């Protein structure tokens, strides 16, 4: 276990729910040989995980976890190692989380004999439910606020390794400039709207930041004016600074502070179970190979990238899948609603009032589907309430 001080979300990041900017400790991506294929590069961190069994894969059935599971299965069979074990959470009372058909498609195609399915009981995974409370008591406020979701799965990885598909969405699916790059490379027929996209892409960074403030308002409703301005400026900088070139965008992505904080949080929680966690899509060798292979113009849309890089290991239906499960109701459930209903001024004692408008925060939390960015603040409020009770001599042992 490391003795260094772990990365934590900063005050503005806790209250806004967003981790901004670059992490200065992130090294540059390594040089990549001309012949290095991204799929081959992805196999290296996967192999390291397989060499420390049991190797389990956090498997939802989505494109990213399916890719990691498929690559791990291929490497295990080729190297004569124990097959990876997919571990899946099953939510019984929230049908919008059901991905069983996709999961069964992948497991069947990979011919995996061992698939562990863990039923979620009641409020277990609520943002202030028992598993989240354990993480908050042990580590304080963490980011992202759904980090506790993996804790039931780490039980299967004790003394071994868990692989995840984080952060395929951010890496493969959130490049703002893929359409403009495809048009510029002659890969897509231009439309009238593409002229505006190309002009936007060619604009100086300072102008792109201004456009981002206008076109993509930050929209967090519970911040005090000064805090909102600071967070909105950081958000606009994040959007405006994203490189137009794919290879530079991957290098920029690798330096995101959000990735560093997430990786630190997952490491800390894994260590509680005597396990190691690896995120192959965040591996620097894979990122370097992906940047090199995509070059200036990238691969196109997310589905085009998945097909070009991972098409040989995934069922075609998974490559082109566009649907995603929705977990808001499963995580912001009855336990969160009860806490919100009893929320008073004392519960916000650990939250800076100079940053948070308490009345606006209450209004957000009672919405049918609260803004996901308010969830870190929800956990901070719960922890502040707990600490207040402890100070008053209340027995708060779980």
Please write the tens of the pLDDT for every residue from 177-226: 999 999 999 999 999 999 989 998 999 999 999 988 888 789 999 999 99
Q: How far apart are CA 128 and CA 131, in angstroms?
A: 8
Asked if residue 336 has pLDDT above 90, the reply is yes
Band of residue 96 on the pLDDT scale cut at 50, 70, 90: confident
Please write the tens of the pLDDT for every residue from 20-42: 999 999 999 998 777 789 999 99
Cis-peptide, bond into residue 144, ω within 30° of zero: yes
Please write the tens of the pLDDT for every residue from 276-319: 999 999 999 999 999 999 999 999 999 999 999 999 999 999 99
- pLDDT of res. 395: 44
Contacts of 269 (CB under 8 A, 6+ apart): 135, 139, 147, 148, 150, 151, 154, 277
CATH topology of domain 27-172+249-319: Rossmann fold (3.40.50)
Predicted structure pTM score: 0.93
CB-based burial label for 344 (10 Å; 0-12, 13-18, 19+): exposed
Asked if residue 344 has pLDDT above 70, the reply is no
As given in the structure block, the two tokens for residue 176 are 């703002």
- Give Cα 87 to chain centroid, integer Å: 18
Domain positions in the chain are 27-172+249-319, 179-245
């Amino acid at each position: 276990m490391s003795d260094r001080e772990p990365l934590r979300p900063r005050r503005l990041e806790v209250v806004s729910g967003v981790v901004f900017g670059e992490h200065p400790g992130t090294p540059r991506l390594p040089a990549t040989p001309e012949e290095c294929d991204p799929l081959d590069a992805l196999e290296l961190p996967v192999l390291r995980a397989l060499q420390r069994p049991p190797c389990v894969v956090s498997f939802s059935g989505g494109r990213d976890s399916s890719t990691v599971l498929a690559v791990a299965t291929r490497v295990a069979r080729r190297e004569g190692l124990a097959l990876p074990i997919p571990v899946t959470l099953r939510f019984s009372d929230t049908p919008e989380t059901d991905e069983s058909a996709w999961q069964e498609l992948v497991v069947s195609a990979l011919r995996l004999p061992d698939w562990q399915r863990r039923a979620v009981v009641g409020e277990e995974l609520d943002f202030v439910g028992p598993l989240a409370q354990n993480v908050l008591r042990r580590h304080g406020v963490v980011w992202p606020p759904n980090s506790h979701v993996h804790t039931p799965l780490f039980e299967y990885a004790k003394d071994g390794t868990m692989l995840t598909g984080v952060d395929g969405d951010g890496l493969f699916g959130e490049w703002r400039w893929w359409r403009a790059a495809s048009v510029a490379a002659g890969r897509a027929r231009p439309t009238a709207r593409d002229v505006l996209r190309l002009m936007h892409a060619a604009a100086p960074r300072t102008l792109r930041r201004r456009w981002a403030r206008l076109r993509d308002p930050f929209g967090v409703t519970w911040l005090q004016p000064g805090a909102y301005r600071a967070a909105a400026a950081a958000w606009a900088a994040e959007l405006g600074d994203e490189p137009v070139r794919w290879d530079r965008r991957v290098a920029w992505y690798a330096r995101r502070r959000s990735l560093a904080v997430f990786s630190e949080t997952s490491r800390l929680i894994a260590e509680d179970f005597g396990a190691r966690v690896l995120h192959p899509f965040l591996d620097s060798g894979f990122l370097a190979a992906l940047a090199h292979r995509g070059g200036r113009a990238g691969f196109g849309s997310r589905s085009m990238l998945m097909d070009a890089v991972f098409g040989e290991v995934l069922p075609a239906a998974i490559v082109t899948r566009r649907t995603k499960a929705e977990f808001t109701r499963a995580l912001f459930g009855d336990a969160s609603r009860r806490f919100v209903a009893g929320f008073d001024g004392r519960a916000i004692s650990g939250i800076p009032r100079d940053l948070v408008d308490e009345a606006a925060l209450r209004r957000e939390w009672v919405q049918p589907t609260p803004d996901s960015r308010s969830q870190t603040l929800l956990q901070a409020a719960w922890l502040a309430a707990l600490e207040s009770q402890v100070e008053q001599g209340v027995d708060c042992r779980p």
